[in-house]
Amino acid sequence: MKRFFSNIKKYYKYAVYQAKAELKSEIANSYLNWVWWFLDPICYMLIYTFIVEIVFKTSEPYFPVFVFLGLTAWDLFNRTVTGSVKLVKNNVGTINKVYVPKYIFLLSKSFVFLFKYIISFIVTIALMIFFQVPVTWQVLNFPLVLLCLYTVAFGAGTILLHFGVFVEDLSNITNILFRLLFYFSGIFYAISTRIPKPFSTIMLICNPVAFCINQFRKIFINGVAPNYIGLLLWFLMGCALTAIGVKLIHKYESSYAKVV
Amino acid sequence: MENAIEVKDLHIKYRGLKKMSIKQSLAKFKLNRIEVFEALKGVSFTVEKGKIMGIIGKNGSGKSTLLRAVAGIFAPDEGTVDLKGNTVSLMSIGAGFQTKLTGFENIILSGLLLGFTEEQIRKKVPAIIEFSELGDFIYKPVKTYSSGMYSKLSFSITAILETDIMLIDEVLSVGDIHFKEKSSKKMHEIIKDDSKTVMIVSHSMSTIKELCDEVLWLNDGVLMERGDTETVTNHYEDFMQKLGKK
């Protein structure tokens, strides 16, 4: 663990520069460049709003904000975790050239997604003003929920990063599982009202994405306090996952260059 | 003289960590059949600061593996590699660039990984751009480069951002005739520099004889001989001739 922190300190600048360069290259190569960062989540929000409100004729209060909170949190989690499967393979050149602790790649990727998340957070605020969602002091809990979600995503990412090196078709499995997780996370419906009682509670507690999305909605839409104990437990769980993943990576990372 | 590199009883194994699909790993449920290939079987040596060490040996004798182990890309399975806190870089064909990013950004990223601060790198960037002869292309994504430009940039980064220890895997010059001459001259300059410790892997005996102070001869992962260039290369050439006659 000590090694983990000293490595983070040592390679932090690299991760940040890499993330910045990647974001820059993303906007340099497209017509609408940075507008995409706003446009992308907004378009998906509109699609889901259309499907749920017009096709299925159901709704939740402040539905666009409701979907948006779910969708952006899901994107952060999904991109960080599923992206990590092929991370080592995508960086073969660097790996064969110089030693880098492999989770630094994940760190830098997660910075990219975190940045995009922050942008979508700005959109969230705009949407809240537009739909006149009553704001309470509970919104100040936002960093806590985000930290919890990020830690779990990073922890799961480190573990998948390790197995992604050796199991070639792991990405097929993660894609299917994450599709399932997507529908189980209540992104365009409220788990607590749409699913019968014991199952909904289990889903909201055992699925970190559903849990965090629910907390975001509590503080932004309902104006009630988040489940602090749950946040703490999932945060600790994220730390534990990170510890396991980092340990695996430290143990096996010197073999990665031999395999890929 | 103080040592810049100390390698003690180095073992590198390529374990049965083969890539497999999930179906395969379920089919072969016996995971016990792990094939172990030992690329280096207990190699020990030291290199004094400022010296030039050549590594010779036939194909598959573990030369490149040794360089990568010294560079820290492979951790030793047994034994230790001690670089006494020196910075190290490995020069080999096909450098790792992030093709989506510009040449400029790749220079900074490579430098950061080699252990330089951003400030140090920025000071040397003009020299790198000039040496690589890329001009304005440096601000374009690397994926737009020709293979010659790619190798020129890669060479320039390692050659200008000189680390304390340089590990050279067969790459003494790259590019067209003109750049070959220039890069080869630069390489000789670096190698001859007394503050740099250099390890060279090469199959060219003339290069080894010309440049190296000392030579290591590896055969099937075992250190056959270590000594002054003349003696070891002669023994090696005799050995290879005998091998050819068999």
Where do the domains of chain B lie, and which CATH numbers do they carry? 1-20+34-86+166-171+197-246 (3.40.50.300)
Give the closest residue to A118 by CA, choosing from A23, A18, A30, A230: A23
pLDDT in tens, A153-209: 999 999 999 999 888 888 888 999 999 999 988 888 888 888 888 888 888 889 999
| Closest-CA residue of chain B to A98 | B73
> d(Cα B143, Cα B97) in Å, to the nearest integer?
9
**CB–CB of B14 and A258 under 8 A?**
yes
Task: Indicate the pLDDT class of residue B33, thresholds 50, 70 and 90.
Answer: low
- The encoded tokens of residue B212 equal 């190296």
Residue A8 in contact with partner chain B when CB distance is under 8 A:
no
Give the closest residue to B95 by CA, choosing from B83, B107, B81: B107
* For testing contact with chain A, the best of B17, B102, B120, B165 (most A CBs within 10 A): B17
> d(Cα A15, Cα A1) in Å, to the nearest integer?
19
Dihedral angle, C-alpha A117, B99, B95, B171, nearest 10 °: -160
Residue among A93, A97, A259 minimizing CB distance to B90 = A97
Chain centroid to CA A126: 21
Return the minimum-mean-pLDDT range out of A64-73, A210-219, A251-260.
Answer: A251-260
pLDDT in tens, A110-123: 999 999 999 888 88
| Backbone torsions φ then ψ of A219, nearest 5 degrees | -80, -30
| Closest-CA residue of chain B to A260 | B19
> d(Cα A36, Cα B37) in Å, to the nearest integer?
50
Helix, strand or coil, per DSSP, at residue B140: coil
How many Cα atoms are found within 13 Å in the side-chain-facing hemisphere of B189?
A: 10
pLDDT in tens, B173-212: 777 888 888 888 888 888 888 888 889 888 888 888 888 8
Min Cα distance A10 → chain B (Å) is 9
Q: How many CB atoms lie within 10 A of CB B56?
A: 27
H-type helices in A29-62, by residue range? Answer: 35-49
Q: Is the pLDDT of residue B95 over 70?
A: no
**CB–CB of B101 and A25 under 8 A?**
yes
Min Cα distance B27 → chain A (Å) is 14
- The per-residue pLDDT for B78 is 85
CB < 8 Å to B120, chain A: none
Task: Tell me which residues of chain B have a C-beta less than 8 Å from any C-beta of chain A.
Answer: 14-15, 17-23, 25, 68, 71-75, 89-90, 92, 94-98, 100-102, 105, 108-110, 112-114, 118, 141
| Closest-CA residue of chain B to A22 | B101
Burial of B136 (0-12, 13-18, 19+ CB in 10 A): exposed
**CB–CB of B68 and A257 under 8 A?**
yes
- Within chain A, what is the greatest distance between any pair of CA atoms? 57
* Residues 6+ positions from B144 with CB-CB distance below 8 Å: B137
Q: Are B157 and B107 in contact (CB under 8 A)?
A: yes
| Backbone torsions φ then ψ of B46, nearest 5 degrees | -130, 150
**CB–CB of A22 and B68 under 8 A?**
no
pTM for this predicted structure? 0.86
| Closest-CA residue of chain B to A102 | B73
Q: How many CB atoms lie within 10 A of CB A140?
A: 9
**CB–CB of B21 and A92 under 8 A?**
no
Q: Are B221 and B62 in contact (CB under 8 A)?
A: yes
CA-based radius of gyration for chain B: 20
**CB–CB of A259 and B17 under 8 A?**
yes
- Within chain B, what is the greatest distance between any pair of CA atoms? 58
Min Cα distance B147 → chain A (Å) is 15
Average pLDDT, chain B: 83
Helix, strand or coil, per DSSP, at residue A67: helix
* Residues 6+ positions from A199 with CB-CB distance below 8 Å: none
> d(Cα A252, Cα A195) in Å, to the nearest integer?
43
